[in-house]
Amino acid sequence: MERVRRLKLILWTVVGLAAAVATARFLFGLGATTHLSDATPWGLWIGFDVMGGVALAAGGFIVTATVYIFKLERFHSIVRPAVLTAFLGYVAVVVGLLFDLGLPWNIWHMIIFWNPHSPLFEVGWCVMLYLTVLALEFFPVPAEDFSALARVRRFLVKLRIPLVVLGIALSTLHQSSLGSLFLIMPYRLHPLWYSPILPVLFFVSAVGLGLLVVIFESHFTAYLYRRKPETSLMGPLGAAAGWVLIIYLVLRFGDLAVRGQLHYLAGGGWLTRLFWVEIALLALIPLALLYAPQFRVQGAWQWAAAAIGVFGVVLNRVDVGGLADLSRGNRLYLPAWTEFAVTLGIVAAAMLVFLFMIEHFKIWEKRPADPDADPRKLPEFNQVGFTWLGTPAIAGRVKYSLAFVVAAAVGFSFLSNPRAASQGIVPTPVHRARGDVGYLKASPASILTPLWQQEGEKEGVLYLDADLTGYGVTFFHQREVDRNGGQKSCVLCHHMNMPRDKNSGCYECHRDMYLPSDAFRHDWHASPSGANLACVQCHAPGQTRSAANVKPCADCHKDLIPAGATIKIKTYSAPAYVDAMHQLCIGCHAKVAKQQNKPQVARCAECHRGKLDFSDAENLLYRRRALAGRGVVLPPEISK
C-alpha cells in the first residue's frame, strides 16, 4: 500500500494547487489566470483536457464492444476498470471544458438553443449523451453495495446491450467530430496535420489509444497495488493495438501522398521535427515494442509501449489543438503555470477518484486489501500519547489533507496581486509629449526622423502618443496659445502645477493610458528619501489615517492650483490619460464646431491622423526622459 499512499500524497498536493488556481479562475476570469488571447483562444485546457481526455476515454467503448458484442469473454475482468476509466475521463473532460468556457454557467444553452450546423453542437451533445450512457453503464457496480438500489441495478443490467451499442455509436460520432472541428480551418493548421479525413484519423487513433490505455492502466494499477500483472491477457490487446496503429500509419501517409504534401516530410523546420517526434511516439516505437518477440511477452515492456503510445496520441491532439497552428505568427503561446496546474489537478482528481473506487467497490474480482485495516492485525500504540483508537477509515487522511492545504496556500501566494485585483486592463504607463521646442532645437538631427526635422522648423508642435506606439495626435501648441489669448490662456489647460513648477505636463498626474491614477504621490511624501514627513504632519493625530481626514494639499503647496484655472479638482484620482485628453479637447472643439459651423473640427480624424514612424533611438530617448522626469520637476532657474 505504501506505493498507493505515496502516489495519493502527490495527487492531493497537485489537487490543492489546482484548487487555489480554480478559485482565482472563477473569481477573476480567464484573462487573469491564463496566457490565452484573441490570437490563441484555445490553449492547453482544450488541447489536453478536452481533446486528449476524450481520446484517453476511448478504452471504454473498445472493451465493452470486445466483451459484449464480440463475446470475447476472457477479457471480462477488464470491463469494469475500462468503463470506470472512460467515465472518469469524460467527467474530467467536462470539468476541463467548464474551466475553459468564458461563461460556463451557460452550458445548458446547447440543449435548448440548437445550432445543428456547428460541429461544436455535435461535440457538445455527444459529450452529454455519452457521459450519461457511461454513468448508466457504470452505475450497477457501486450499486452492488447498496441493497436499496437492487431494483435499479437489475433494470440497468437488463439494459446493458442497448447501452453498449449506444455507447459505441456515440463514441464513434464524438471521437470523429472532434476531428471535424478542425476541418473549418484549412489555412490555419499545418498541411502535415490538416486533412479532409481528419475525422477518420481521429477515430482510428482513438481506437488504438483506447487499447493502449487499457494496457497502461492494468499494468500501472498492478504495480501500485502489487498485484500479479495481467501480462498474458494484455498480449492480444497489444497485438490488436499494433494492427490499428499500422492502419493509422497507412491512412496518415497515404493521405499525405494523395494530397501531394509529402515534400513537407523532409522540409526541416520545427513543425516537421514535431511531426516526426509525434509519429515516432504514436506509432513507430510502440509498434517496435509490441511486435518484437522478446519484448511483447514482458509486462514492463508492454507498459512502456502503452505509455509511449498514449503520450504520442495525446501529443497529436495537442498539436492539432493549437501547437501546429500556423497563424501563431510571432506570438508564441506558452501556457501559464496556472494552466498547467489546473490541467494536472483535474487529472490528479480523476486518479484519486479512480483509486477510491478501486478500494471501495468491486471493480476487480478481489478488492485490494489494506494491511493496516486488517482486523487481525495486532494493535499499535501511539508512541506519543500511548493511546490506540483503531485505524481511521480513510487511512492517511491527516497527511493528505495537510498536503492539500499547504499546496493550496502556496498556490494562493503565487497568484500575483495585480492579476488577482485587475479588471482585465493591463497598466500602460505614459510618457511626456514628444517634441517640446527646446528639445527639438537641441537634439542632434541624426536621431530625429525626417518628419520631425521638418516639424521642428515650425516651433511648438507636440506629438501626443504617450504610450510611444506612434499612434497619436499632432498638437499645434503655439497655434492654440495664439488662438486662446496668449500667455493668459495657459490655465485653460494647465490646471494644476507640480510643486515649484509652472505649466506641468499632462503626463505628470495622468500617469496611465487607460486607468485612473493617483495624482498624489503618497509613497514619495512618506519616504525617508522623499519628503520625509511623519504621518501626523498631514493626517490629524488620533484618527484613522485616510484621504478623508487629511490636510488639503494647498496648505503647503500654495501655488498648486494656478489662479484662474477653469478645471476644478475634486479628488486625488486623475482620470486616464486618454480620458483626460478627450475631455479637455472635445468639449472646446464641439463648441467651436457648433458656433462657427465647422463640423470637421469635432471629427475624430481632425486630430487622429494615423501612425508616425519614429526611430528606435528616438523612442528610447523619450522613454528615458519620461522616466527621469517623474517626481518633482524644477524650473531651469532654480536648478541652476
Partner 1 sequence: MTSWIEFGRGPLFRLCFALMVLGLLRILILTSLGIVEAYQRNPDKIVPWKEIRNKTLAWLLPIGRLWKQRPIYSLFSFLFHASMIVTPLFLASHILLWKNAVGFGWPSLPQELANWLTLLVIVTALGLFFGRVLDPRSRPVSRFQDYLWPLLIATPFVTGYIASNAVIGPRTYQQMMLVHIYAADLIMLMVPFTKIAHCVLMPLSQLVTAVAWKFPAQAGDRVIETLGFADRPTWMPKPRLAAEPAAAVPAKKEGAK
Q: Which residues bind partner 1 (CB under 8 A)?
A: 20, 375-376, 378-379, 389-390, 392-394, 397-398, 401-402, 404-406, 408-410, 412-417, 421, 523, 526-528, 532-536, 541-546
Q: Which is nearer to partner 1, 232 or 543 (CB)?
A: 543
| Rounded least distance, CB 415 to partner 1, Å | 7
Minimum CB distance to partner 1 smaller for 24 or for 290: 24
State the Cα angle at 225 between 219 and 230, rounded to 5°: 35
Judged by phi (left if over 0) then psi (alpha if -120 to 50, else beta), residue 564 lies in left
Q: How far apart, in Å, are the Cα atoms of 331 and each of 32, 36, 323, 344, 587? A: 18, 11, 12, 25, 40
Which of 270, 381 has the CB closer to partner 1?
381
Q: From CA 123, how far away is CA 305, in angstroms rounded?
A: 30
Q: Are 353 and 142 in contact (CB under 8 A)?
A: no
Query: What phi-psi label fits residue 284: left (phi over 0), alpha (psi between -120 and 50 degrees) or beta?
Result: alpha
Q: Which is nearer to partner 1, 25 or 431 (CB)?
A: 25
| Residue 405 beta carbon to partner 1: minimum distance, rounded to whole angstroms | 4
- Write down the least CB distance from residue 421 to partner 1, Å: 6
CA-CA distance, 404 to 250, in Å (whole number)? 47
Distance between CA atoms of residues 13 and 18, nearest Å: 9
Cβ closest to partner 1, residue 406 vs residue 588: 406
The neighbouring-strand residues paired with 461 are 476
Closest approach of partner 1 to the CB of residue 527, in Å: 6
- For partner 1, the closer CB: 542 or 552: 542
Give min distance, CB of 549 to partner 1, in A.
10
> DSSP of 507-553, one letter per residue?
GGT--BSSS-EESS-HHHHT-TTTT---GGGTBPTTS--SGGGB--G
Q: What is the 8-class DSSP label of residue 369?
A: P
CB 408 to partner 1: min, Å: 6
Min dist CB 507 to partner 1, Å, is: 24
Shortest Cβ 410–partner 1 spacing (Å): 6
Long-range own/partner contacts, residues 167-173 (CB < 8 A, 24 or more apart):
167/60, 167/61, 167/64, 167/130, 167/133, 167/134, 167/137, 168/61, 168/64, 168/65, 168/69, 170/126, 170/129, 170/130, 170/133, 171/58, 171/60, 171/61, 171/130, 171/206, 172/61, 172/203, 173/122, 173/126
Q: Which is nearer to partner 1, 157 or 536 (CB)?
A: 536
- Which position has the grid cell 467651436? 592
At 517, give phi and psi (nearest 5°).
-125, 165
Give the residue among 202, 201, 221 at the shortest CA–CA distance from 213: 221
Whole-number CA gyration radius for the chain: 34
- What is the nearest approach in angstroms of partner 1 to the Cβ of residue 21? 12
Buried b (16+ CB within 10 A) or exposed e, 442-454: ebeeeebeeebee
Closer of 372 and 559 to partner 1 (Cβ): 372
Considering the complex, what minimum distance in angstroms separates the CB of residue 570 from partner 1? Answer: 20
Q: Which is nearer to partner 1, 69 or 409 (CB)?
A: 409
Smaller CB distance to partner 1: residue 556 or 612? Answer: 556
Do residues 473 and 611 make contact, with C-beta atoms less than 8 angstroms apart?
A: no
- Residue 524 CB, nearest approach to partner 1 (Å): 11
Considering the complex, state which of residue 69 and residue 405 has its C-beta at the smaller distance from partner 1.
405
Beta carbon nearer to partner 1, 232 or 532: 532
Nearer to partner 1, 397 or 500 (CB): 397
Report DSSP state, residue 506.
Answer: G
Q: How far is the CB of 165 from partner 1 (least distance, A)?
A: 41
Shortest spacing between CB 345 and partner 1, in angstroms: 15
Three-class SS of residue 336?
coil
CA distance 478 to 295: 86
CB closer to partner 1, 167 vs 345: 345
d(CA 249, CA 403): 44
Q: How far is the CB of 172 from partner 1 (least distance, A)?
A: 44
For the beta carbon of residue 594, count every other beta carbon within 10 angstroms: 12
From the CB of 407, what's the least distance to partner 1, in Å? 10
H/E run at residue 359:
helix 337-360
CA distances (Å), 573 to each of 203, 531, 566, in order? 59, 21, 18
All 3 cell numbers of residue 129?
A: 449523451
Choice between 402 and 592, CB closer to partner 1: 402
252 with 276: CB under 8 angstroms?
A: no
Please list, in sequence order, all residues whose beta carbon lies within 8 angstroms of the beta carbon of residue 525, skipping any fewer than 6 positions away: 531, 533, 538
- The answer to whether 318 and 52 have CB atoms below 8 angstroms apart is yes
